[in-house]
Amino acid sequence: MQKTAIHQLRDELSKLTGFLIAAPVKSAASQALTFLNQKSNQYPITTPDSPLISAFTAFFANNKIIKNFNQLILRLIDCIKNNIFAKDALVSVMNNLCINFSLLDVEPCLKILQYTTSAILYDFPDIYIIKSFFSISLSLLASPNPVISGTAYASFQQMLTLLTDTILQNSNLENNSENNTENQKKNQQNILTVEKYNSYLELCKKEYSSVVNGFKNPLFVILHLLYCDLSNLSQNLTPNWLFCVNPPPDALFVLLSEIVETYNDILKSDHQLFSSFQLSIFEFVKFPNSIPYLITYLDAFLELDNSIGSTIVSEFFQKIQYNAESNYAPIFFFHYFALQKSDLMLRYFTECEGALSLFVPLFCTFINYLNIPPKSIHFQMKQWKHSEILLNPSEYEIMAIHEITFALLNSFKKSDDKNVIEFMNKSIIALSSLVVSGVKYSDIDSFSIPQQGLIDLCQIFYRINQLGKIEDKFQKFDQLFIGFKEKQKKLFFFDEKRRRVPSFLYKIVLESPDICEDRWQYYLSDIINSDVKLSPSFANNFSDITTMDILHAIVNVRPFPCQFLTEFIISNVDRFVIIWPVVESFIDKIFRRKTPGYEDLIFEFLILLLKKCFTQKSEVELLRMASTFLHNEISLSHKNALIHQLKENVTSKASEIKEGWISLFAAISPQNFTGTITQKMDTVNSDFYKELIKIGFDIINYVACDYVDANSVPQCIDTIFSYIEQQIDDSVSLFGFDLLMKISKRVESWDIFINRCANIFNDSREKVAETSVTTFFNILQKNYVSDQTITNLIEFGFLEILNQFNDDSFILSKVLTSIVEYSCKNWETFEEIPDFYHFFIPRLIEKQQKSTHNFVKFYTIFYNCSKTTPEIEKLLCRSIDFRITQFLDNSNHQHSKTPNANLEMKNDDSRKENSKSDSGQSQNYQSSEEEIKMSLDLLKLIISQKFVKISIRNWMPVIVKIFLILQANHIKVVLDSILSLFPPTDINEGQFIVEQLSSIVSRSESSDTRKLLVQTLLNILEKNPMFIWSCKHAFSTKEATNELLPKLLNYIEQVKENENSNPNGENFSEANPIFECLSLALNSNLDNEHLKSQILQKIIELFPTVPKDARHHFLLSHSNDYETITSIFNLFFDIRSKSFNERVFEECKNVAKKVVHEFFSINQNDQELKGRFMNFLQNMETKDDEGKCGQWLKNEIDSM
């Protein structure tokens, strides 16, 4: 590379030998060429007397030709880069380049700067080469070409960095010959060798002996020389060490600032090095362009020597106070000072004495600058360059004093220093005026800067309890522009600024929440009602008390900020329980006052919370609020929306509910959806109400079994009962029973459950009441119920339930049958209870006995129970007998009240009377279908196989009464069953059955029934003629007498034949019952006179044979029958008759007297009949008490 560089240099150098080149240059160039052509040359060239060095010295001395030989200069630089020159030779070449840099093109300048940057350490610590390199960089700073000057600036920085770092790395190198070898080993990787270091020390001692001994590190001499010359150059003084053309002061001050800022630690560590700057610092005050450097210096060394800071600040203060015409410079200083980073102004206040006494009047002086500017002020909050200020000093001044204020406030706002506090207290008016001025006169683009200044001022004033001095400035923003004309308002963007007030308040809220204490409503009202997007989470880190204050302010913002309030609560959900009372209190107040227009807003708010904020931390309060909302008088549409939202919450987040069950149940209580609707259904909204009821029930149906905790089960069950009891939707009531069945496994307090369930038994809806009974007993049967509860039910519980019903209640029969079923299934358990047999069962049967419904099922269940005892069956028999008797008595009562009218039955069917009885005096009662079915069911029960074990004599009276209710077609079926189970083969049983059937014939009002029974009796008599005398009651009816009399007559003849005795004889054993049959038949109003004559004949035949009581009864019962009485009297009481029987006469004469008296009494109006009977009696011959015939009736006849 060296050969190529030398070859190229030789080619370019030969061009200097031309005709037009000046003789000195030509001659030197010729000698240099001769030198270069010598093969024995050694490189690098180190001495400045080399022909080549001389040639270039001559060349640079003639500046007229330099610009024409740019390639020569480039080749020279290539030789420099290839180490063709070194030591003094290199210094000579570099100095020539430095002196003539203004004549060089861009490329050579850049190439030489590139070289110096990279080669700064090649000959370190060669002080001359270092001086030469830095001189070139500083000289090129003055280049008008920004590329060159910029590169020179960067080159200087890089060289300084490399140099400083190297000096620091070699700070411990000692010139100790004993340690030379060791030091060389240690520093073999370093640029600096011991030999170089020793050579450097010798040079320093020789040329800089006055300073070298003052440094801890002798290498700092290089930095000292450089720093001092930089200071000299910046003051336009001749440098003592550097060899360069004067660079621009502005650039030098910038370099000085960077050196101080970058290497202040090094400067602080070595006082001698620090003095390089300190000695000249006060000289810079006179130069406005030095202000950035001064501020940097103060920033770096304020704590090291605060007297310097006080002095410099004081000098600039004096300038602004006493030299008004050049105010831009001190304002520039204070502006740069205020905007310096690292809180320099605050540090000055705390470190330097006299700061307070200086700054208070300073800011008072600033007020003098305040006036209405010709245009709005654009704030930037940046440190200006001196050159920028010079373009428009007055505009800068008005801007700067405001920015100084803003920066000071920003720096001081967090300080507790006493000087700061005192300054603020003494500068309230000045600071307020400056800040307000900035707010008023700023342009809209930079309006945020004075806004921030106002915020900072508020923060400080708040801390010193002076907020009231400034607060009205932004609370009454319009007052700032009082007196402004519309043109001025437009110039200073009044409308736009007014719209940005919420943004300003927003910043206060975020940055200085303490300021907002007790004023939250003012701040938040403007913010929330503006376009400013205040994050709902802005208070997340605030204290609980502050957050509650904020929340109180939010709920009082008008219009009501529903969306923001919701998001705010969501953001603070972790402390929901703490902050919620504020909201709840507000809503309660709204409901109490019934504030117009708020229902919709509060409703929307609650819906949003339920949608977005329903968690375990909020569920209790939100559900309680939902309950309060639904309980109040709100629109049906709101209730509908809210109950739907609750359903959505429950179905999607039921697991979030832990402690809010009570409130949920209160919210969905049917009473919230019905109001007075149970009393009078609103037909217009009935479907709406049903929908509410249905959704509410869906909710409890969803959670009841799988989610509700054990502690809330009682309230859950209570709510289920409420849905059952509501009367809006019967289907929901019925579904409620299914839900009761599901949740019954979780019942703990059975007494309460039983009482609540029993209350529904009396529900006016028959289906609901009936289902309640079924569900109740199913639950009891399918779940474990404690022994004590069972005992309570048997001893008084069931009976108390029964006592709440009227005897005619349909549901009573349902309850009775259910109790019986439950008892039968649990008989073995119940019978252990003492009162079960002796108290409970008898009371149960007694209650059923009074019931008017469905008692057949009751008895059926009892009879199907294998555990019943004979005593219980007797109770049942008596109960049934009583029940049928009662029914018949009621029927007879109806007949007596309406003998010729229709009889109304309980099923509202009216039946006409079929026909009158034969006597024409009684009616034929026709039973209702319900009674017929009931009677048939009862008969089926009685004649069942279960019945066989009970004596027919116990039940037959009941059957007889039932037959009186049934119609003939029903009786036949039952009758056949009875005769099949109890065939009348046994004399005793047969006679009993025949007697009972004949009694039905005599009592039944239905001719069809009588015919059926008579035919049945005839069938029985075919097989057992001996039972004829047991049919005596049947002979009281005409139909039976016509059919049975032949049987009776035949039987009499058979008996006579069998006994071979006279029917009139004393040995006729069946004479008395047969006589009774004939007597009844004679009274049956027979139409057949022949038959009637036969009966009378048989009676006459039997009359002497029957007991006297029978004869007496016969005579009395026929006292109105002229033919019968006269026949008996004539045959047995007249002594002229062949049949006269003195015994009979004696036994009957007194009764005969009564008969005569009765006859005359009955027929007292029938003179003809009375006369005939009188003649008959008078013609009789018999014995009186004295044995005289015809006189025993004398008194009776005379009395007539």
- Residue-wise pLDDT for 942-990, tens only, equals 665 555 445 566 667 777 777 777 767 777 777 777 777 667 777 777 7
Q: What is the DSSP string of 554-610?
A: HHTSSS--HHHHHHHHHHTGGGHHHHHHHHHHHHHHHHHHT-TTHHHHHHHHHHHHH
The CA distance from 1129 to 375, in Å, is: 158
Structure token pair of residue 86: 């070194």
User: Which single residue is written with the structure tokens 């496994």?
Assistant: 745
* pLDDT score recorded for residue 681: 45
pLDDT at 1200 over 80: no
308-312, 475-479, 704-708, 1122-1126: which range is least confident on average? Answer: 475-479
The CA distance from 81 to 352, in Å, is: 52
Structure token pair of residue 1103: 């009359």
Residue 252 near residue 230, CB atoms below 8 Å? yes
* pLDDT score recorded for residue 912: 31
Name the band, by pLDDT with cuts 50, 70 and 90, for residue 83.
confident
Name the band, by pLDDT with cuts 50, 70 and 90, for residue 683.
low
Cis peptide before 1073 (omega within 30 of 0): no
819-829 residue pLDDT tens = 999 998 899 88
- In order of 436, 1104, 1127, the CA distances from 1099 in angstroms are 144, 9, 10
Residue 1076 near residue 1110, CB atoms below 8 Å? yes
> Higher confidence at residue 642 or residue 751?
642
- Dihedral angle over CA of 241, 247, 250, 256, nearest 10: -30
> Higher confidence at residue 516 or residue 191?
516
The sign of the dihedral angle between the CA atoms of 202, 206, 211, 214 is positive
pLDDT at 548 over 90: yes
* pLDDT score recorded for residue 1190: 55
* Mean local confidence (pLDDT), 508-523: 85
Would you list the domain boundaries of the chain? 518-613, 951-1059+1068-1106, 1108-1199
* Mean local confidence (pLDDT), 59-85: 87
* pLDDT score recorded for residue 379: 95
Name the band, by pLDDT with cuts 50, 70 and 90, for residue 176.
very low
Structure token pair of residue 61: 């001395």
* pLDDT score recorded for residue 303: 83
* Mean local confidence (pLDDT), 668-690: 69
Name the band, by pLDDT with cuts 50, 70 and 90, for residue 443.
very high
Q: What single-letter DSSP state applies at residue 242?
A: -
537-546 residue pLDDT tens = 999 999 999 9
> Which residue, among 50, 125, 118, has the nearest Cα to 90 in the 3D structure?
50
Name the band, by pLDDT with cuts 50, 70 and 90, for residue 914.
very low
Residue 164 near residue 223, CB atoms below 8 Å? yes
The CA distance from 1018 to 997, in Å, is: 11
Neighbours of 1195 (CB within 10 A): 12
1028-1083 residue pLDDT tens = 878 888 888 877 788 888 888 888 777 777 665 544 444 455 677 888 888 887 77
Residue 244 near residue 98, CB atoms below 8 Å? yes
- In order of 891, 892, 908, the CA distances from 903 in angstroms are 9, 11, 10
5-14, 185-194, 461-470, 969-978: which range is least confident on average? Answer: 185-194
> Higher confidence at residue 885 or residue 164?
164
> How much is the pTM?
0.56
Name the band, by pLDDT with cuts 50, 70 and 90, for residue 805.
confident
> Higher confidence at residue 163 or residue 851?
163
Name the band, by pLDDT with cuts 50, 70 and 90, for residue 1100.
confident
Q: What single-letter DSSP state applies at residue 636?
A: H
The CA distance from 478 to 488, in Å, is: 14
328-342, 357-371, 946-960: which range is least confident on average? Answer: 946-960
Name the band, by pLDDT with cuts 50, 70 and 90, for residue 267.
confident
* Mean local confidence (pLDDT), 676-688: 56
SS3 215: coil
918-944 residue pLDDT tens = 333 333 344 555 555 666 666 666 665
3-state secondary structure 900-928: CCCEECCCCCEECCCCECCCCCCECCCCC
* Mean local confidence (pLDDT), 254-260: 89
* pLDDT score recorded for residue 676: 40
* Mean local confidence (pLDDT), 896-906: 35
215-224, 264-273, 831-840, 958-967: which range is least confident on average? Answer: 958-967
Residue 34 near residue 104, CB atoms below 8 Å? no
* Mean local confidence (pLDDT), 295-309: 84
225-229, 425-429, 674-678: which range is least confident on average? Answer: 674-678
* pLDDT score recorded for residue 915: 32
The CA distance from 330 to 336, in Å, is: 10
* pLDDT score recorded for residue 159: 92
> Which residue, among 880, 873, 886, has the nearest Cα to 848 in the 3D structure?
880
pLDDT at 1182 over 90: no
pLDDT at 178 over 60: no
Structure token pair of residue 697: 């029930």
Name the band, by pLDDT with cuts 50, 70 and 90, for residue 917.
very low
* pLDDT score recorded for residue 909: 34
419-423, 743-747, 896-900: which range is least confident on average? Answer: 896-900
pLDDT at 911 over 80: no
* pLDDT score recorded for residue 471: 64
pLDDT at 1151 over 80: yes
Structure token pair of residue 403: 């920015």
* pLDDT score recorded for residue 934: 62
* pLDDT score recorded for residue 510: 87
566, burial (CB in 10 Å: exposed 0-12, middle 13-18, buried 19+): buried
- Mean pLDDT is highest, among 621-625, 898-902, 965-969, 1166-1170, for 621-625
Mean pLDDT across the chain, nearest whole number?
82
User: Which single residue is written with the structure tokens 């869906």?
Assistant: 698
* Mean local confidence (pLDDT), 361-388: 89
Name the band, by pLDDT with cuts 50, 70 and 90, for residue 41.
confident
